Structure 1
């Protein structure tokens, strides 16, 4: 059973598809190189990487926000404060919990990293639309259906043909670790 699971994960990761705004026709290696360059430029300018997601994807957003700040010396921001999320959900709408704070903070020089296993979470999709309209860079990580909304919304889109949340979340963590490791400074 374990070997089958790891084989499924390897198959899923090796079947990743990358798309974007005329970016990365040569696939993953080029996409990661472009993403690394975007991140290094953002770091040099002192701009911000916003990371968003729901549930386990929110946990990943928080985890990688902390690791990027610590290891890559990048300014990061997540919206995981329970008071903020519940106030916005109650007073406005849950599909706006990321849009509302981004309206007040996001600039055209920033980056939004959107993580969604289904690729159809309205709050994540709405945030990507706002970021694109603002002119910020948008990176998406999605899975499940090949026709999910998020898959075509970013400057770089990583899609995994995962059929379960566990496989999608594990694959997304692998993508995020690979990116973070590429922009991190070696330990002192």
Structure 2
């Protein structure tokens, strides 16, 4: 395959996603996160592999890019970032509990958990079913007065039905889904920044 062909096909895929993704689902997530912000809650974000790096990037932008003079700040943290804690929990409790066990320490009523997964928990490999640690974290949020939010791809997997709000990137290749998740997190973070800037505070 020539480079030009691959470039064209890849960009065509991104355009197809843009044309078919649910705007309503994106709007729902923005409003849900804005509600968490107004309540003073914390947004906890988790993912595996490339989605873990997206979670960290998302937490960074939610925390830094939304700062507006005189306005309360967004509180967001990525659960994969404390490597010693992640490795200790993996060693002692198992990978499927690595995010849930952290939430037991930090999660409060009114917080939100965002899970980022290409397949939304569908499928499996040598280690077993994919993204079970994310699904457990999302279940915990729902059971403890919080909001469960998903960014998924393919058909959404279990995340689509589990979450209170879920954006599914309607495409079936990992690079496209992961790339679009980054575009979505930028859209969400910077839209929240605009909403915060317009928010009347007393």
TM over 0.5, yes or no? yes
Partner of 2:33: 39
Within 1, Cα distance between the matches of 2:118 and 2:156?
Answer: 13
Partner of 2:104: 103
1:40 deviation in Å?
Answer: 2.5
Q: Any gaps of 5 or more consecutive residues in structure 1?
A: 17-26
Within 2, Cα distance between the matches of 1:66 and 1:42?
Answer: 17
Q: Any gaps of 5 or more consecutive residues in structure 2?
A: 67-72, 122-130, 198-202
Within 2, Cα distance between the matches of 1:163 and 1:43?
Answer: 33
- Report the TM-score, using the length of structure 2 for normalisation: 0.80
1:136 deviation in Å?
Answer: 0.7
Partner of 2:153: 143
Partner of 2:142: 132
Q: How many pairs does the alignment contain?
A: 174
Within 2, Cα distance between the matches of 1:37 and 1:89?
Answer: 34
- Report the TM-score, using the length of structure 1 for normalisation: 0.86
Aligned partner of 2:20 among 15, 20, 44: 15
Partner of 2:56: 62
**In terms of Rg, which structure is larger?**
2
Where in structure 2 are the equivalents of 1:111-126 lying within 5 Å? 111-120=112-121, 121-126=131-136
Answer whether contact 2:152 2:169 (CA < 8 A) is retained: yes
Within 2, Cα distance between the matches of 1:115 and 1:41?
Answer: 20
Within 2, Cα distance between the matches of 1:147 and 1:68?
Answer: 24
Instruction: Give runs of ≥4 in structure 1 deviating > 3 Å.
Output: 30-34
Aligned-CA RMSD value: 1.6
